Amino acid sequence: MEFNAPAGENLFDKAKIVGKSTPRIDGPLKTTGKAPYAYERHDVVAGQVYGYIVGAAIAKGRIVSMDTAAARKAPGVVGVISTLDHAKPLPPGMQNNAPLFGGAQVAHYHQAIACVIAETFEQARSAAALILTRYDRAPGAFDLARAAPDAPLAKGDGGKPDRATLGDFDKAFAAAPVKIDARYHTPDESHAMMEPFATIAAWEGEKLTVWTSNQMIAWAKKSLGTILGIAAENVRVDSPYVGGGFGGKLFIRADAVVAALAAKAVGRPVKIAMQRPLMINNATHRHATIQRVRIGAEQDGRITAIAHENWSGNLGGEDGENGTLQTPKLYAGANRLTANYIATLDLPEGNAMRAPGEASGHLALEVAMDELAEALGMDPIELRIRNEPETVPATPEMRFSSRNLVRCLREGADKFGWSRRSAEPGKMREGNWLIGMGVAAGYRGGPTATSGARVRLTGDGGMVVETDMTDIGTGTYTIIAQTAAETMGLPLEKVRVTLGDSAFPASAGSGGQWGAASSTAGVYAACLNLRRAIGQKLGFNGEDATFENGRIRTGAKSFALADAGTLSAEGEMTFGKFKSDYEVGTYAGHFCEVAVNVYTGETRVRRMLAVCDAGRILNPLSARSQVIGAMVMSVGAALMEDLAVDKRFGFFVNHDLAGYEVPVHADIPHQDVIFLDTTDAIVSPLKAKGVGELGICGPGAAVANAVYNATGIRVREYPLTLDKYLDKLPRYS
């Protein structure tokens, strides 16, 4: 069915299950170890052997020779595959800049060049170390700051140069009585998800099955077909549980491709998990950015000119990290410029990581707003409210579907005790700790995409939902069950949800914060078809009947749902053109209080609050979990996460979880999340938007602004580690 007009009043407005805090239905399986992740699927196919990927030891160049003889003779080894087995690289799948396997060229450090297959993991790993590879090293570009000045504009919409203007920025900026002009740096970051890339691959004739960990099943199926040169129909992808992806698992990576090639080569199912160093240098990461923000304003705070320019780099000059994405949407201002430049680098491949673009962009824009507020002598919340736009600032003909940013900021300020903040930085102190508060606004789109499902009555009063939608730890199982239970009038426990199998109808998948809104709409569409089918079978009009408490009431008649026996229906929600008249976004006010040690510069986050405006919240319990998780990730981005680039050898040096530090429990204080009680009729029949990325858009800037408020020292290079401001801290007594 097509969602082709704003949603009117519907069953979700009187919901009993949707919108209620509901513990994850998959929780017991996960807490008892009964939810098998890709590498643990010992029972799906017999005779599994272990693959161990060898990564290239250079960043760029050519493999001159590879001696695998010793590895082949090592105990337990059943085969070795080499990139040199292929005269040229395998074709790329979706969003693969560098080939995942094949050919003698090395495009980046730890690119897969071989795989040893053995009876045990230990045998495979041990034999992999026996492979001797000789390289011809080529020079490469590894330094974004050096490459940025000559970087061309990235490709924007329709392949056009990614630069947009409105009015005359230069003139307005020159004339503005108050202005700021600042540059910010954000580092390369790793997704650092707990579950590594992992795949078990098995062939049956021409048919390939991969049990893997992937966010986008339909894309995975298509890409594997492309890369391996087989028909997509011959590929089955199964990924019911995903131990974190954060965008890293949107696309097929080397684990799946190499496992498939290895399984073919040895004639047995092959399982591969990527070792942690390869997670960082073989797979993808969030690209570093350099951002310049210029804002000019009247004395009363009204913005007259705003420019946001962004530089990042990637292999082959492909997609970078576009930090400007939120800037056309957030604040008013008649004269505007955004531009996005992309340099060609030979570092490992950059790609999507949770809120690509905006997560980094807010770290610049929302600190720039703090700097402007100070230049104006104005409260930073008031400055933002002063610049709340009527319509989309950069495209004034577009309306907002629903936007309550001002409420987020005002209600957050009340709840957080913002009035206790000292406007003058460096003035609040408790013992040896300097105390500061910071605020940032947050914006992230609320997109939807076509999503399908199959729903089946099991004949015993229960039902099953089948869709290739994934649950990447987000709580998708539960919101899908809630949606189906609500629509079919069943208690939650009567709904079984099965996900992640490409044999099921294709869904929108998990990414870009579109999963929750899209997949529940798809399940709703399928349920409506099932209601019609039940009506046909039992002789009533399914559209008018009431489905409640496991029963169907229509006129004077009443049936038990079980009376319909076993029935199945598929459905798909597509989203109509009318939506393109609207900017559908999610908004937040983010607040943070930090303490900075006056001696050592250590920063401790003391309190955090997010007030979110994202339409109907399908499951406040799991939505809160999404937002606080994103806030943790934001603390990481603000204070510690940094893939260290070796600019000589071209790789990320700190390629394990000891060297790449993410926040631990001791870094994270109590976090509060408030969801505004709003609905957005432009999104879907459920009037709900995702929050998983909204939560990482802004909190990092709130941390940075709080550090400034505490210390009076503005650091514009993330992460804000103490070495960057230690020399500017007050002299100790």
Partner 1 sequence: MKAFSYERATSPAQAASIVASKPGARFLAGGTNLLDLMKLEIETPSHLVDVQDLKLDRIEKTDQGGLRIGALVSNTALASDETVRRDYGVLTRAIVAGASGQLRNKATTAGNLLQRTRCPYFYDTNQPCNKRKPGSGCAAIDGFSRQLAVVGTSDKCIATYPGDMAVALRVLDATVETVLPDGKVRTIPLADFHRLPGTTPERDNALEQGELITAVTLPAPIGGTHIYYKVRDRASYAFALVSVAAVLRPDGTGRVAFGGVAAKPWRVEAAEAALPQGAKAVADRAFADAKPTPDNAFKIMLAERTLAAVIDQAKG
Could you list the active site residues?
A: 693
Give the nearest distance from C-beta 719 to partner 1 in angstroms.
8
Pick the binder of partner 1 from 6, 156, 659, 712 (CB under 8 A): 659
CB 627 within 8 A of CB 693: no
Q: How far apart are CA 179 and CA 232, in angstroms?
A: 55
Pick the piece of the chain touching partner 1 (CB under 8 A) from 91-99, 120-128, 162-170, 194-202.
120-128
Pick the piece of the chain touching partner 1 (CB under 8 A) from 144-152, 233-241, 661-669, 685-693.
661-669
362: Cβ contacts below 8 Å, ≥ 6 apart: 326, 440, 441, 442, 443, 697, 698, 700, 701
Q: Is 563 in the site for partner 1 (CB under 8 A)?
A: no
- Going by C-alpha positions, the residue among 531, 533, 513 that lies closest to residue 690 is 513
Pick the piece of the chain touching partner 1 (CB under 8 A) from 83-91, 209-217, 505-513, 642-650.
642-650
Pick the binder of partner 1 from 446, 663, 685, 695 (CB under 8 A): 663
What are 189's two structure tokens? 């970051």
Which is nearer to partner 1, 81 or 638 (by Cβ)?
638
Pick the piece of the chain touching partner 1 (CB under 8 A) from 259-267, 344-352, 446-454, 719-727.
719-727
Pick the binder of partner 1 from 277, 316, 317, 461 (CB under 8 A): 277
CB 631 within 8 A of CB 671: yes
**Helix axes 620-639 and 358-376, enclosed angle (nearest 10):** 70
Pick the piece of the chain touching partner 1 (CB under 8 A) from 95-103, 354-362, 557-565, 663-671.
663-671
Cα-flanking dihedrals φ and ψ of residue 495, to 5°?
A: -110, 125
Q: How far apart are CA 359 and CA 699, in angstroms?
A: 9
Which is nearer to partner 1, 5 or 726 (by Cβ)?
726
Q: DSSP alpha helices (H): ranges in 576-661? A: 620-639
At 392 the three-state DSSP class reads coil
Q: Is 733 in the site for partner 1 (CB under 8 A)?
A: yes
Q: Is 67 in the site for partner 1 (CB under 8 A)?
A: no
Which is nearer to partner 1, 199 or 281 (by Cβ)?
281
By CB under 8 A, how many residues form the interface with partner 1?
Answer: 43
Q: How far apart are CA 522 and CA 453, in angstroms?
A: 6
Which is nearer to partner 1, 503 or 653 (by Cβ)?
653
**Beta strand ranges found along 255-320 (DSSP E):** 270-273, 289-297, 303-314
150: Cβ contacts below 8 Å, ≥ 6 apart: 343
Pick the binder of partner 1 from 143, 168, 563, 646 (CB under 8 A): 646
CB 320 within 8 A of CB 95: no
Give the nearest distance from C-beta 625 to partner 1 in angstroms.
22
Pick the binder of partner 1 from 20, 597, 620, 681 (CB under 8 A): 597
Give the nearest distance from C-beta 602 to partner 1 in angstroms.
6
Cα-flanking dihedrals φ and ψ of residue 507, to 5°?
A: -115, -175
Amino acid, res. 213: S
Pick the binder of partner 1 from 75, 161, 396, 417 (CB under 8 A): 75
Q: Is 533 in the site for partner 1 (CB under 8 A)?
A: no
**Helix axes 699-711 and 358-376, enclosed angle (nearest 10):** 40
Pick the binder of partner 1 from 145, 395, 653, 670 (CB under 8 A): 653
For strands 546-548 and 495-499, give the pairing.
Answer: unpaired
Residues 399-458 contacting partner 1, CB under 8 A: 432
Residues 166-225 contacting partner 1, CB under 8 A: none
- Sign of the torsion formed by the C-alpha atoms of 255, 259, 262 and 264: negative
Which is nearer to partner 1, 20 or 72 (by Cβ)?
72
Q: How far apart are CA 261 and CA 275, in angstroms?
A: 18
Q: Is 134 in the site for partner 1 (CB under 8 A)?
A: no
What are 211's two structure tokens? 């049990």
Q: 329: part of which helix (H) or strand (E)?
A: helix 327-330
Pick the binder of partner 1 from 122, 493, 543, 581 (CB under 8 A): 122
Q: Is 649 in the site for partner 1 (CB under 8 A)?
A: yes
Q: Is 125 in the site for partner 1 (CB under 8 A)?
A: yes
Binding footprint of partner 1 on the chain (CB under 8 A): 57-58, 75, 122, 125-126, 129, 277, 432, 597, 599-602, 604, 639-640, 644-646, 648-649, 653-656, 658-659, 661-667, 721-723, 726-727, 729, 732-733
